[in-house]
A and B are shown apart, each in its own frame.
Chain A
Amino acid sequence: MENPMELARTGARRTRGRVVPAALAIGVVLLAAGCVPGTDGSGAAGAGTGAATAIPDPAKAGKTTLTVWDQEIRGGTNGEIQQLNREFERKYPNVRIKRVARSFTDLKTTLKLAVSGNHPPDVIQANQGYPDMVAFVRAGLLAPLDNYAGIYDWNTRYPATLLGLNRVSADGNDFGRGRLYGISQTGEYIGLYYNKDVLQKAGLQPPRTWGEFTDGLARLKDRGELPIQFGNLDKYPAIHTFGVLQDQLGAADARDTVLGRGDGFDNAATKNAAATLADWAKRGYLPGGANGLGYDDAAKKFASGDGAYLLTGTWQLADLKKPMGDKLGIVPPPPAKAGGDPVTTGGQGLAWSITSRSRHPEVAAAYLDFLTDAHAADVMTRHGVLPAVPAKAAAGVSPDSADGQMIAGWKRLSAADGLVPYLDYSTPTFYDTLSAALQGVVSGKTSPDSFAATLQKDYGAYRKKQREQHASAGPR
């Protein structure tokens, strides 16, 4: 019976968990390249190019055991990590990887004690955002990775937007900029899944524009089909749906707000997005009583043909493809104009970080590089996992398959800088505030105005606290 609970919870990790390990043991980490860990990591990029000799060689590290805590226990990701670990050990026979794999919830609840204890793991996967990554950095438990980013060319391997999500400011107050504290393996975004059969029966094509998509909803409803499958009992799924709606109305503002440099949530985009969500629920475009339906139950219903669309993350693809086969399609939420730039909520998997008291930071850095390089990307693709930076194997995936669509969508989003971070990153308490308020919106209990006011109150209070911390503490 652990399983249903597990299932009920795993989705949450996508909004709540991202991890980045970095340590304040800068001195240990600084290598021959001699670059100073910058506050934005840009300085390290230049130094990296000519520093080939500075790449650490784990083979010379002697007999080493690397303890790694991760949460990649789902089918595809587990297989991919197991294979890469095996290959790393074969490449460096002197290194043994001691892997501790736990479900996201279990990892999240035990990691704090582990990293602050006397024998912290060397590499951990920690959640991005304030509750985990920022809290660890503030406590000095993660090692900054800017110089490795230079040595290994991570700065050029990854788009700046993605690296930004793994950054924390030097004073440990702000998320989204500053030093690099981790590197992610996988990419993910909220996509529009569709059931080709259901659309065809209603005489619809997969939508190319946002207008086509929303116009089709009424038609599906008239034909007796459920337009959008949606279950919000677990509280977080509405964050994704709402995020997509808000991105359509003002993606740039939303991103600035999440990263702490925007005006917040008291604006037209927020209110209109909430109004649209409430309207969908009222018109029956969403299942009646969506607040009482579980996330995984909704996905299962969609897979069995109940519902034309499902708005959720790419992490669901493998599970949906198994029962649906060729009936399944996925695109990023369609842009306003056909062929325009898509935009959606998304980001990357939990970051892999190095703890500040790791005794083998160089071996750990080599391991992080190995987990994220082009070869690793190919291994991920073969396991049905979306790599943050797709490589050769991705080109071999049929563009008509759901996997091919997912990869193509990710490339378009990356090229257009069309990813907006999860809204619950905004403040340490924002997950609670947002998910509870959205259940009110879905049920028609909370008006768009009071919804926006609730979010703004939480957001404003935290920004005020941050400003006070800046003023009183200064850079640490």
Chain B
Amino acid sequence: MAMETTTTPEGGPSPTPTPPRRVAAAAPYFLVLPGWLWLAIFFVVPIVSMVTMSLMSGNLVRGFSLTFEFGNYADAVATYWEQILRSLFYGGCATLLCIAIGYPVAYWIAFRGGAYKSTYLLLLLLPFFVSFVLRTISWGFLLADDGVLLGTLKDIGLVPDGTRVLNSAPAVVFGLAYNFLPFMVLPIYAVLERMDHRLVEAARDLYAGRVQAFVRVVLPISLPGVFAGVIMTFIPSSADYINAKVLGGTHNTMIGQVIESQYLVNNAYPMAASITFILMAVLLIGIFSYARALGTEQVMEAQAR
């Protein structure tokens, strides 16, 4: 291919004769163009369109017009601050739970998995061949008051008769952690797997204790993986509402449910758009400051594996 001149670091002399410079320089643009256009038309333009819509006023019958109605944002915050905060709280709890559960699993597979490493990873991913919605509903059925799990425990008298798990905040948080756990395990695993395990041996030889070797060697190396995992679990779990609907009942609604019903049931598009924009802003500001501190490249690389 004709990329010799562009990839040679610091413009070192290229030994082979290169095709005309103009073609070589244009090649990446031809490659990027189709995908870039698709993302521009169906990602960038929709976001702009959503922001525009959030500043409109009117209703479905009379139509909507752009009046720079910033009051939509004030209304959205005033009406739905509770759901917004609850979503961030549930998402945060689920993310912490994912770290607490996912880190030891990733660590054990990477360091002790031996010849079965890929088998363990496959087992971890296998449940995800089943549709997200169906998996969540199955999990809900399993936890039902008279269901297989709770019903059996009640029958043998391990838990009192009136115990309920469904329709509670912990049910939602555990449901979120259940659904997004692999997104935490995989990036952490990828980093731990690639690290030179002799570093731990070296630390031990230098009289570091087991804990010290972990805190001062393994943990710092694995941090990019943890950050990637946080992004991959915190965003989708804060914005998810399937778990809240199936496992949370009416008292644990999340902001996604509000957005969905405002768009698809009430047709209150400007209001819906402003809530969505607030959610996106809150999540993305946090994430971008994270990514900036670490470099997006590194985080995306960890995500890719």
Q: Do the two chains belong together in a single complex?
A: no
Which B positions have Cβ atoms within 8 angstroms of A?
none
